Structure 1
Amino acid sequence: MTAIWLTADFKFQEALLSCNHLPYPHTGEVICKELFQILESWNLKSTTFTVVTDNGINMVKAVCLLKENYLDQIQHQSYIMHTLQLSVMEDLKQCKAFHHQIKSLQIFFRLLK
């Protein structure tokens, strides 16, 4: 978990708060408890305003549970690069399928000669 904040003179700062092994299963409940413990250990419960995660259903659920059970003031934001990566990967799948069709047509027309 990393923390990112602005100083009084509006400079970005960031720090690694934790890099823990999280045992399986990685459910929303397990992740929520871990997030809360980290925030509590750093005394950041009252100063955390936004949590940014990927779009994994377990991460979305974890932040939702964190908000419901512990920190009702937090907001959840999805990491835009993860969303973009998912979109690009889906488009690449379609491109590969189209490329395969083109190759098949090329082979077909070569065989007609």
Structure 2
Amino acid sequence: MEQKDISTEVYQYFLEYSWPGNIRELRNTIEYCMNIIEENEKSIELKHLPPKLLNNKEKDKKIKTLAELERHAIQNLLQIYGNSSEAKKIIAKSLGIGIATLYRKIKNLEV
């Protein structure tokens, strides 16, 4: 079997993927790619990756950080209740945090 290169996109994809199956999953992925790549193709491209691997990566992209979730929740509540001091007291109470904590989160999360 002829040696193939790995495209920059695939290399970056491999670096960013969490590899829950460890080295076995990586080895199986490369073996899969080598089995489906055409003889005249010089490098492994994203199109050669197993669909399962591509779908899992998309799921990883959908996972948000805690800061993103907090920012989103606070933004939604500000839209519902408004931006007044009284509204912020209601928002803080509904989130189960103190008013000072809410103001700090608004500042730190750039809401």
TM-score, normalised to structure 2, is 0.27
- Return the TM-score normalized by structure 1: 0.27
